[in-house]
Structure 1
């Protein structure tokens, strides 16, 4: 018999320290993800953050949810959940466990569900179950500034994973001859790893998309990342570890007032601009300095306006670039509730993208 159990903030607190958790064949959540979910300022006390599926008394699968809010044009706030992780053990497949987890999430969040960054196997399930519609995809450009084979190839083939040390040596040799070919504009910028009063005031007065992130949201992201630079979560199948992972704000002032700011993450020399406020052209002029200072090998931008200004200014100058795309799925009832005229203008970091 399949039994679905939901964990809210109170039940998730200390869950990863329990004997039952240690005895699971696989981990349904990492310690860092659990703490991040618990401290999410948009998560309500009764929100289910993790659904567990038991086959008799054995853990068979799980589904993670990241609670969020969206604002309508009339100011009404609608609470919803991003599907964050979905997994069913091979030993228990064929019993519609994934469907039962999705139905539990659908009921718990009143059908208000969104998904992005899903695997091909998860996408097949979402489409098969018939409760989701497509939203417009976001186009991206990935810019390559240095050779980064040690990070790119191991995920493609186990042979490269076994020979990662040689790939690193090759990268180091080749990159010695590849300079950063742009200095950027001369604005003085500031890097911070917290949201101080000036940055908070600036952020909270900016025009935002319907998710409408505020300073408290961004401070939560900075304080409770999902990736550890110390150890990998044993038996957890989703991202939990990175040799190098940092999040920080870059801000520029004029006359002692912030005129632009953008939130970055760097994972193993891969830069992402998750959110930005201010003039896109000026930001594209600051990026070369950030790239050089952090020894960035590649950068991914999911924002048409920012990519346009980067291309127009020809800075920073990559050795190679390629287009990418991110898909979104929305529950059909949630889409109808938001209405035909709703502007689904997501920012790079919306969903769980900011954390991985």
Structure 2
């Protein structure tokens, strides 16, 4: 077994190498490599990827490191690191899991955050005794329109006639939902809160984002969003090149679009949102809100989402969750989902135990 460490400045060479082209399972996708190579928080010599290579020269495991900035009051930004991925081959990698993990801790000097863990990973991380594991954050997975035909068409063994049978059912459900949602919007009354497309490049939007981040040391600033929105990690299938590579995490999707929205009240900017649409499901990685405007901004954003060609919403955002509960939004499917996070005890010296991650923190904003 060999262990390799790939630096940020070496990512382009890795994906162009013969070894990479020969792999069935790859440790990083081209889109992720391109993005991480220009991460404004990374240096060329930062280690971005750890790999365990088996005797047959194939991949036995890998782990990713994503440099970020910690913004503290009355101090210069400090560096910390997200774990962006951690994968072990079920047969070849049985003995490499923890060596990769502990090497990550060594490289990051213990300044590491895991923003979205599986329950299995949570147990491993907690067992090391080196992390403060947060109580799982409760979110919601909400389908407000029928989309069975679209959903089933992505499943293996799909047959076209299945979608034909499902489509009339979806149509009936969506008709009823449309009437119910229209009634809700009318009941809410005409509003002076407007939602419009925006850009992080706009000066007022840029300044608003950075101002609203005050007090939350982990939330990404406008400079990070500029980089993220320029370099998406997900590739719509219509843009995919044919190939044999497999990647254990999110990569190829049916559709992926990102929006930046501004919410104004009487011509005053009171909210900025980053919204992802992936395969018909909306996510809100970042929502920056002027204090005192949380409820109407969340309501305006939700009603905007309901007018979009999306089937549902996945969110842990507390403003949106409170407004969803208050509105009692009619849903076809509604279920609780949980996000598990942890941060190294080294960071507990500078992080308050009550801090909250936004939905997009870690690498979630990319997916």
Please indicate the TM-score interval, normalised by the length of the shorter structure: 0.7 to 0.9
- Does residue 245 (structure 1) correspond to residue 232 (structure 2)? The answer is no
Query: For residues 22-33 of structure 1, what are the structure 2 equivalents within 5 Å?
Result: 22-33=21-32
CA contact (8 A) 1:227 1:241 kept: yes
Query: For residues 155-174 of structure 1, what are the structure 2 equivalents within 5 Å?
Result: 160-163=155-158, 165-166=160-161, 168-174=163-169
**Aligned match of 2:341:** 328
Query: For residues 175-254 of structure 1, what are the structure 2 equivalents within 5 Å?
Result: 175-177=170-172, 178=174, 179-180=177-178, 181-183=180-182, 184=185, 185-186=190-191, 187-192=193-198, 195-208=201-214, 209-229=216-236, 230-231=239-240, 234-254=245-265
**Aligned match of 1:116:** 115
CA contact (8 A) 1:275 1:348 kept: yes
Per-residue deviation, 1:152: 5.8
Note closer, same or farther for the CA distance 1:132–1:206 as it changes in structure 2 (3 Å cut).
closer
Per-residue deviation, 1:21: 0.8
TM norm structure 1: 0.87
CA contact (8 A) 1:141 1:301 kept: yes
Distance 1:195 1:151 in 2: 35
Per-residue deviation, 1:266: 0.6
**Aligned match of 2:305:** 291
Distance 2:37 2:274 in 1: 22
**Aligned match of 1:313:** 327
5+ residue gaps, structure 1: none
Note closer, same or farther for the CA distance 1:168–1:274 as it changes in structure 2 (3 Å cut).
farther
TM norm structure 2: 0.84
Distance 2:131 2:364 in 1: 20
**Alpha-carbon deviations, 1:32-62, whole Å to 9, x = none?**
1111111222223322111111235723221
- Computed over aligned residues only, the root mean square deviation of the Cα atoms, in angstroms, reads 2.7
- Report the secondary structure of 2:336's partner residue: strand
Query: For residues 9-24 of structure 1, what are the structure 2 equivalents within 5 Å?
Result: 9-24=8-23
**Aligned match of 2:285:** 274
